[in-house]
Structure 1
Amino acid sequence: MKIAPIFLSWFLLFISGSCSSDLDFDQANDIELRPVVIGNLASFDVAAKQFVNNGIEQTVSIDTPELGVFNDTFFKKNLIQTDLFFEVDNTINRAFELQLFFLDDANAPVTSIRMDIPAYIGSSNIVTKTVVYQGANLDALKQSKKIAFVITLLSGPPLNASSVGNLKLRSNLTAFFDIK
């Protein structure tokens, strides 16, 4: 019976002497966060008849609002990669060339993207493209203030004011950050 109190005393002494170490609060300075943010970039929906003015086919230009995201200092400093995703759905019986121009403060192009859109022939006609920006390409993109879209008709059956179909674009931006 005397063994139990001695054993209990040794056991309590053993577990009360547990390991501990000094806390290093300077480790908070070494925290590195790598968040990923996805957001809408731009979209449009152009009807076939918008490519015709007074019976003459024309190129269509679309300006989007400013890209305020690239004005943010935090964004510019911590952004390490941007993936731009574009999806174009063409239900017009004409092929198109779509050019996207990323413009600076003076409306000068800093970078551009080209997409060839085939004519609609009765089945799904969705074209997608992903463009990745890193390093020097990303630095150029960060100078962008807005996007201009230029849609050029390629050869094919003539369009008129009663032509049917639409050219629709949707796009998004995936931003990768490294916050130290």
Structure 2
Amino acid sequence: MFKKIVCYFLVFAMFSCVKDVDFEQAEDIVLSPVVESSLVFFDFEASEFSEPTGTAIVIVGDDLELDVFNDEFLRDNLTRCEFFFEITNSIDRNFRADIILYDENDQVTYAFAIDVTPDGNNEVVTTHTEVFEEALLEQLKSTVRLELILSMFPSSTGIPLDENSVGNIKMRSKATLFFVIDNE
């Protein structure tokens, strides 16, 4: 019985149809990977914005080198980029986050701002997505440095912040890079 089954199988396999494989199809493959990377983050307590009058504008800042756009592969295959920001504020103050992009000559290539409002000492989450495509993407590709300036505005009640003030403001952000890679 076993030998009969094997014989039928071999006969079937010998006379089966097989479609030719077209290896040239591999030349038409286009890959579209998406890469995410952390961008900027901070976490400041209210006491770090100590100001004696309640009427001052307090500013903190930081720089981030963005030399990734010097890479030829990235410059040739990047088709879209998104910067996503999430800011959580539990300090009873208005804030503004200014994000400024600079080229190698220290000239501003692009800038935008995110306004952050308070709700007493309750946590408020503000999100913002900045999309770079076409002409804006070309501006982004000339960027070598990102500057973040966080400004805290005066209290509407005039109550100053001190070392005992509660709350914090924190930001986390990421860059999402969209590529199209073909073999042309």
Same-fold call, TM cutoff 0.5: yes
User: Is contact 2:52–2:160 with CA below 8 Å preserved after alignment?
Assistant: no
Corresponding residue SS for 2:92: coil
What is the letter of the counterpart of residue 38 of structure 2?
N
TM-score when scaled to structure 1? 0.81
User: Is contact 1:51–1:58 with CA below 8 Å preserved after alignment?
Assistant: no
Q: Output the CA distance in 1 between the equivalents of 2:100 and 2:87.
A: 16
Gap change, CA 1:68 and 1:54, over 3 Å in 2: farther
Matches within 5 A, 1:60-99: 60-99=59-98
Quote how far apart the aligned CAs of 1:130 are: 1.3
Choose 1 or 2 for highest CA Rg.
Answer: 1
Corresponding residue SS for 2:106: coil
Q: Which residue of 1 aligns with 2:107?
A: 108
Quote how far apart the aligned CAs of 1:120 are: 3.9
User: Is contact 1:98–1:114 with CA below 8 Å preserved after alignment?
Assistant: yes
What is the letter of the counterpart of residue 35 of structure 1?
P
Provide Cα deviations, 1:60-106, integer angstroms capped at 9, x if missing partner. 24223312322221112111111211011112111012111112112
User: Is contact 1:100–1:149 with CA below 8 Å preserved after alignment?
Assistant: yes
What root-mean-square deviation, in Å, do the aligned CA atoms of Structure 1 and Structure 2 show? 2.6
Query: Are 2:27 and 1:29 equivalent residues in the alignment?
Result: yes
Please identify, of 48-57 and 130-139, the stretch whose mean Cα deviation from structure 2 is larger: 48-57
Gap change, CA 1:118 and 1:103, over 3 Å in 2: same
Q: Which residue of 1 aligns with 2:39?
A: 41
TM-score when scaled to structure 2? 0.79
Provide Cα deviations, 1:122-159, integer angstroms capped at 9, x if missing partner. 32211111122111111111111121111223342343
Query: Are 2:19 and 1:18 equivalent residues in the alignment?
Result: no
Q: Which residue of 2 aligns with 1:179?
A: 181
Q: Which runs of 4+ in 1 moved over 6 A?
A: 53-56
The number of aligned residues is: 172
Q: Which residue of 2 aligns with 1:137?
A: 136
Corresponding residue SS for 2:150: strand
Listed as ranges, the gaps of 5+ residues in structure 1 are: none
Q: Output the CA distance in 1 between the equivalents of 2:52 and 2:92.
A: 20
Corresponding residue SS for 2:65: coil
Corresponding residue SS for 1:132: strand
Provide Cα deviations, 1:13-69, integer angstroms capped at 9, x if missing partner. x65243345443332221111111111111112333443468783442422331232
Q: Output the CA distance in 2 between the equivalents of 1:140 and 1:50.
A: 35
User: Is contact 1:42–1:64 with CA below 8 Å preserved after alignment?
Assistant: no
User: Is contact 2:56–2:153 with CA below 8 Å preserved after alignment?
Assistant: no
User: Is contact 2:82–2:132 with CA below 8 Å preserved after alignment?
Assistant: yes
Listed as ranges, the gaps of 5+ residues in structure 2 are: none
User: Is contact 2:58–2:153 with CA below 8 Å preserved after alignment?
Assistant: no
Corresponding residue SS for 1:18: coil
